[in-house]
Amino acid sequence: MPSGMPRMGRVVQKVPFMSQVFPKQVHLREVGLRDGLQSIATILPTAQKLDWLRAAHAAGQREIEVGSFVPARLMPQLADTAEVVAFARTLPGMVTSVLVPNLKGAQLAIAAQADSMLVPVSVSHAHSLANLRKTPDDVVAEIGRIRAERDAAGSRTRIEVGLSTAFGCTLQGAVAPAEVLRLLQAVLDAGAEQVGLADTVGYADPRMVRELFEAGRHIAGDRLGCGHFHDTRGLGLANVYAALETGVTRFDACLGGIGGCPHAPGASGNVAMEDVVYLMRSMQIDTGIDFDALLALRRQLAVWLQGEPLHGSIWKAGLPRSLLAPVAEAAAA
Which residues have a catalytic role annotated? 261
Half-sphere exposure (Cβ direction) of 99: Cα atoms closer than 13 Å:
24
Half-sphere exposure (Cβ direction) of 46: Cα atoms closer than 13 Å:
12
DSSP conformation class of 33 = I
Backbone torsions φ then ψ of 119, nearest 5 degrees: -100, 120
Helix orientation angle between 103-112 and 136-153, rounded to the nearest 10 degrees:
30
Half-sphere exposure (Cβ direction) of 294: Cα atoms closer than 13 Å:
26
Cα–Cα distance between 65 and 49 in angstroms, integer? 12
Beta strands (DSSP E) in the chain are 27-30, 63-68, 95-99, 116-122, 158-164, 194-199, 224-229, 250-253
Cα–Cα distance between 271 and 319 in angstroms, integer? 18
Cα–Cα distance between 24 and 57 in angstroms, integer? 21
